[in-house]
Structure 1
Amino acid sequence: MKTREIELYLHIPFCKRKCNYCDFCSFPAGDGQIKRYMDKLKEEIRYWGDRYPDRTVSTVFIGGGTPSLVPAKQIESLMDTVRGSFSCTRDMECSIEANPGTVTKEKLKTYQSSGINRISFGLQSARKEELKILGRIHSFEDFVSGFHMARECGFENINVDLMSALPLQTMETMEQTLTKTAKLNPEHISVYSLIIEEGTPFYEEKGIGDLLPSEDEDAAMYERTGELLDTFGYRRYELSNYARPDFECRHNCGYWAGTPYLGLGLAASSYFEGKRFSNPSCMDEYLFIQDHGRYFAEAEMLSRKEEMEEYMFLGLRMITGITKTAFLKRFGISILDVYGTPIRELTRKGLLKQDTDRIWIPKQALFLSNQVMVEFLL
């Protein structure tokens, strides 16, 4: 039987303390709840492995929350369950998110021996004042210590998550964070502009908007980020992601290319066999699931129109853009027959570029990508 590749996202919702900007499904928990949850997550992995034995896993991403808070043996058991439930590619990329100050050499060595070959540190800022206002509980020194420990334990693929357009942040302080991070030579750096989401402490905090950089300052920071990281040898390959050659995050590239994935764990979302579905976000409801497949059965089947829209939204996030050939192969119709008008108009305005086959957002218009993508709603 021919195998088909999928990606796995495994959600670990536990953290020491909720950050002021965070709208993810995450919260503190005790040892007993963590163990019950991890047992349920492994049950869910086995369920899908039994149901789809013809699928081969090409990437695994253990995200959160703070997965590095979970005992290392639990993470090792989780990876054993993945390999025992699915066929896995020989070069499977397996990432785990970690907060500075929560890793030890013992944990890192266990991650390595269990097949985790990529670690993503959530630094966000190198400045104490900015970390404090974000509600982070680590220091830059904690991050540097964890980074060097990861290198000593054999990690050759490290990502660092940073944020820009923070309260009280200036161009100078942002450049300081970027420079300090790049000088450590991680293989990958992600830089996300802060968005104040409803339901977060920042959203409820009066006057927080007065502390944020203006939209023009945000745009200038975005442009400067690409320029500065380029001098250190990092290539922007997606709107917010930069990598050294051959170190692009394969898991995220799969998302943007439309690779099917199963999101397992509390509140995790999936895109599988043309359907979108999500697990419950209530812990008690998740722990007492009797049939994981019911969520797939109740899933929303994407229409052809929705698939085309999503293809454009995700594909145009990539710096290389999309190709007319790939669109035709996937949908059986020319992209110009579907989107000819917006493509011509956006090209005229300088918000898109195209050659004989490729369509992409030019460098000077990347910060305006949302304005571009909305034009592809059918």
Structure 2
Amino acid sequence: MGLVKPNTVTAILDKVQHIDDWVMFLEHLNHTFNIQLSQLLAVDLEVQALSFSVHHGLNIEANYLNQVALTNVRLEIDDDPRLRKSISEPFQGWMHDSQHFTEQEINQTQVYQQVLQPLNIQFGSAIQLIYDNKICVILALLTSPHRGALSSLELQPIYDMLPMLQQKIYQHRHHFEYSTRTLLGSQLIQKIKQPIAIINLNGTVLELNDDAKNLCENNPHLYLHQRRFTFTANHQIQFTQHLFELERNYNYYQTLDYTQRTKTMVLDHDLFLTLDLLIPEKAHKIFGLRPVVLATFTCLKHKTQYPRELYTQIFMFTNVEHKICEQLLNAKTLKEISYTFNIQLDTVRKHLQSIFAKTKTHRQSELVQLLMKFV
């Protein structure tokens, strides 16, 4: 890249006035410096809340990035050692993944396995733009294994821009401080092209996006009545039971594992509902309410081609395991899979146990829901 003069980027930065303008700045930053993904985020240190987050990635479909952001909402800030270190104390200069953390520290995190690896992102460099008694604002630059880590020479032009960038952030610091105007969750679900709702633990729908409204109007398995989801009889009982269990688990949220915070329902052979309990602090900081449940509907018939190569990278499936997962995504039963491939049912079950171990899931519905996040 060399010592590129970032005249175009600084010209764009000078035009930043509104909160949405920061995405335009990141887009030009990526293009000028050949960066795969960049992120500008802020943590309000007084309430320990992620108060601002925008990102841009070249050649990455916008709705997929929104899905990634939704996955990130479900994760804990403490899961990512880089972010944890970034907000714990002020530091000077760049923080590089390859220099400040071991490969194992990064690879074992959920944010790497569920967010970065599917995007083919490996290397990251971050710098604090502001760190005071109120907020910490961070610029993170991420690149692919093929692109390689950013060198000091490549980062120097961006470093030279920092005084101007810091001045702009101070000028518009209200963009980065926590307030009800900057709640991420409500904005996020409206952007995602998938039926999503926010409900409380008694089942009242607090907010839902247009896709969820359309689903309720056109799907025979559910409808919306007096701000509540209404299902067929058996599913209604299951839905109520799931909410009861999540409410009970809510009292012990500090020790909950994934299976205790998430419930999955199979509404039809091509329609799944996932209920994610967001812990009180996270719900309050992201959605402004406590506690809340994120209700995500997934329609199999709208999914794209089976992403074999991606699943191989993430889960290391064997050929047979790939075939089983593909059939499960097509709503096939284990008996149907056994018949299709002319193998014993017990053999299918043994392969399924191996798949469970590799994906850290425990039930077919949980497995399918996980796989659907990447297709």
Which TM bucket (shorter chain)? under 0.3
- The structure that has the greater radius of gyration is 2
Give the alignment's TM-score, normalised by structure 2: 0.28
